[in-house]
Amino acid sequence: MNPQRVHRLMRQHFPEIDAVRHEWINVADQHGVRREILESMLQAWLDAPYLLVQAHRRLGDYLPREAALDFICQHVGAGWGGYMRVTDREFSAFVVIATNGVASAWRP
């Protein structure tokens, strides 16, 4: 799926992020991404084999779970501002990772 299509889907279906209403956990620190914690979080919230992942409006894809995890690890904290967004194709749950390495998840 091309990045423009991912961006369009995220704009249409991914809810606004109210940072104050969510609990946050550290998924990255000064040594990089804490992959096991991030993987555990994705598994707990998103049970789909493929995930929509968007780092910013020009960088996103629909990837198998392991490739999505690699994509996230590669782009966390890249400095584009805002949040990296992750969801399944049905938009049944949402995960966001902030540029400072904290993440939150919720269901509608």
How far apart (Å, rounded) are the C-alpha atoms in residues 76 and 42? 14
For residue range 34-44, list pLDDT tens digits in order. Answer: 999 999 999 99
For residue range 75-100, list pLDDT tens digits in order. Answer: 887 756 689 999 999 999 999 999 88
**What predicted TM-score, i.e. pTM, was given to this entire model?**
0.91
Locate 46 and state its tokens.
Answer: 């998103």
Confidence of residue 67 (pLDDT cuts 50, 70, 90): very high
pLDDT of 19 higher than 90: no
Question: Helix 35-45 crosses helix 65-75 at what angle (to 10 degrees)?
Answer: 130
> Range with the lowest mean pLDDT among 2-6, 24-28, 29-33, 75-79?
75-79
100, 78 Cβ separation under 8 angstroms: no
For residue range 44-58, list pLDDT tens digits in order. Answer: 999 999 999 999 888
